[in-house]
Amino acid sequence: MDFLICVIAGDHGCGKTSLLTVYSSSEFPTDYIPICHDDYHKDETIDSQTIKVYYQDCAGSDNYDFFNKTHFSQADAVAICFAIDPKESFETKEKTALLISKTEAEDLAKKIGAQIYIECSAKENINVDKVFEELARVALKERPIRQQREKREKMEFEEKLRSEHPENEVSDPSDNE
């Protein structure tokens, strides 16, 4: 079975782990436990094709930037998560105005070149399945493009090494005949 890698990124405390937990177990976590990295996987059926999708929950702290960048480079797709309501609303449990309007969020998605924008709520289990179904669909569509880019980058890197270190060039023995 083929597989895809999708990274879930965003600031700490924005709900990445909650989103993944609700998606994988249908249960909303009650405690906030910061993570460095966690993996989830699920068999997805996309356009009648079954694929194993690995979801990587990345740390939201700047302390893990290198670790996260490594995962981004290996990902078929990346979901950027952010909270649209003020943190105080979580702490006081009061209804407050949204910090970011839907239009502002959609404009940001366009600005950064996001293929999709979906509002969801892990706490209310709203659009959670849709987020991951669409993320997997984007990953499946983007995989050939990523593979071509990686192949080109590898060839360019090898060419650069050969030009910088011609003494290490391995010749074909049949060239001497």
Question: Of 92 and 161, which is predicted with more confidence?
Answer: 161
Q: Average per-residue pLDDT in the chain?
A: 77
Residue whose structure tokens are 């366009």: 110
- Confidence (pLDDT) at 143: 74
Average pLDDT over residues 74-99: 65
pLDDT winner (highest mean) among 58-62, 69-73, 97-101, 142-146? 142-146
User: Looking at per-residue confidence, does 65 or 85 come out higher?
Assistant: 85
Query: C-alpha distances in angstroms, 38 versus 14, 20, 78, 96, 105?
Result: 16, 10, 15, 31, 27
Residues 6 or more apart whose CB falls under 8 angstroms from that of 102 comprise: 119
Residue range 142-154, pLDDT digits in tens: 776 666 766 777 7
Structural domains of the chain sorted by starting position, each given as residue range(s) with its CATH number in brackets:
3-164 (3.40.50.300)
Please give the distance of CA 135 from its chain centroid, rounded to a whole number: 8
